[in-house]
Amino acid sequence: MSTSRIPIYIGFDSTNTPSGLNVFGVGDTIPIYNGGTGVTSFADLNLHCSTLGATSSVSATYVSSTYITASAFNGVPYPPPFSYVVMDAAGTNTTNEQNFSTGAAVTTTESKTYASSGSNDITWDDNNKYFNVSSAGTYEIFGYFLIDSAGQSDPVEITSTKNGSDVHIVSPKQYGATGPNENTFHSVLTAAAGDYITVTIHMDDGGTKTAHLESGSNLMLRRIL
């Protein structure tokens, strides 16, 4: 048998100090400053379905307690696109400037997100030794390079390039007697759809000494905006 129950609430006096338990009756309100709404019904709140709406559309989104999936956030596919390349052998030893992994077989790992064009967002072109990007955005490059060189106390230029033009150059010194030397590289750049991006190396000594990348050197490009 059901039993009727009367709701109660904590009453407060004029100094906003709890004064006791009160029966909640028809027409009573719980003041906003005590954590209430100040009204007794949704009608008093003037909430109507016709006035509730989102400021922008949301589609193809799934949210759970463990993960979120969606087609894009702020125009960037989710998960964010990336391409990761690892050299499986030593590269070409030369005095010339060369793209990452020139002369070596590689293993690639690429995200499976896709741009609106339907093409993969970032792909590695192993013939030309550079990344192709299919969408405009801001991209981040990470590199870990094992550089073996014939130049003791000579700098090697590590350069990020876009469409064959230099973007960011660093020149860490190499010590040939103790090589190969570990070098890291980080660069952020903007790119348009159809641009190609890579990292090059060469000895900065006027072209008289050779250098090459050892097996295990790796490079990653990912989109961040």
Domain boundaries, the chain: 8-51, 79-223
Cα–Cα distance for residue pair 124/132, rounded to 1 Å? 6
Q: What is the mean pLDDT of the chain?
A: 82
pLDDT band at 19 (very low <50, low <70, confident <90, very high): confident
Mean pLDDT of the 85-103 span: 97
pLDDT band at 2 (very low <50, low <70, confident <90, very high): low
Mean pLDDT of the 67-93 span: 83
Nearest to 198 by CA among 110, 111, 126, 105: 126
Partnered with residue 198 across adjacent β-strands are: 161
Which span out of 42-46, 65-69, 112-116, 145-149 was modeled with the highest average pLDDT?
A: 145-149
The contacts of residue 68 (CB under 8 Å, 6+ apart) are: 61, 62, 78
Cβ contact 155:172 at 8 Å:
yes
Cis ω on the peptide bond leading into residue 81 (within 30° of 0)? no
Nearest to 208 by CA among 158, 155, 153, 150: 150
User: Could you tell me which CATH number the domain at 79-223 has?
Assistant: 2.60.120.40
Lowest model confidence (mean pLDDT) among 13-22, 65-74, 83-92: 65-74
24-75 pLDDT, tens per residue?
A: 676 666 555 555 555 555 455 454 444 545 555 555 555 565 565 556 777 7
For residue 47, what pLDDT is reported? 47
DSSP string, 106-124: EEEEE---B-TTSSBSEEE
Cα–Cα distance for residue pair 107/110, rounded to 1 Å? 10
Report which of residues 52 and 163 the model is more confident about.
Answer: 163
Cα–Cα distance for residue pair 91/181, rounded to 1 Å? 15
Report which of residues 105 and 64 the model is more confident about.
Answer: 105
- C-beta neighbour count of 97 within 10 angstroms: 16
Mean pLDDT of the 193-205 span: 94
**DSSP-based helix, strand, coil % in the chain, nearest 5:** 5, 45, 50
For residue 5, what pLDDT is reported? 65
